[in-house]
Amino acid sequence: SQQGEEDPQALSIQEGENATMNCSYKTSINNLQWYRQNSGRGLVHLILIRSNEREKHSGRLRVTLDTSKKSSSLLITASRAADTASYFCATDSGNTPLVFGKGTRLSVIA
């Protein structure tokens, strides 16, 4: 069963706006990862945040992790049309496969 659940399922914004998507999970984790999938392509890793970290930045990406609420958020600032994609969170609980959520479809309108 899927542990990570992204919210919202779909998001449509104007170019230049910020996009925020959330991920909730059920069990304890070692780290949480965010991936991006362009239409028709494989997933590409974006950023990893460990369970003892609260916030991490990479370029226009900001990820937060709240282990007490078992939730994470991904913020994309100053979005571009090229950010249009599906975004997935994945939880890593140790020596088991990553568990992926169903994803958030982001549309950035130019």
Residue 41 CB burial class (10 angstroms; 0-12, 13-18, ≥19): exposed
Query: Which residue in the set 29, 90, 106, 108 belongs to the binding site for another protein (CB under 8 A)?
Result: 90
Please identify, among the stretches 19-27, 32-40, 51-59, 76-84, the one whose residues bind another protein according to the rule CB under 8 A.
Answer: 32-40
Q: Tokens in use for 23?
A: 């991920």
Number of residues that bind another protein (CB under 8 A): 24
Q: Find out whether the peptide bond into 8 is cis, omega within 30 degrees of 0.
A: yes
Query: Which residue in the set 70, 74, 101, 108 belongs to the binding site for another protein (CB under 8 A)?
Result: 101
* Distance, CA of 66 to CA of 103 (rounded, Å): 19
- Interface residues with another protein (CB under 8 A)? 1-2, 30-31, 33, 35, 40-45, 48, 88, 90, 92, 94-95, 97-98, 100-103
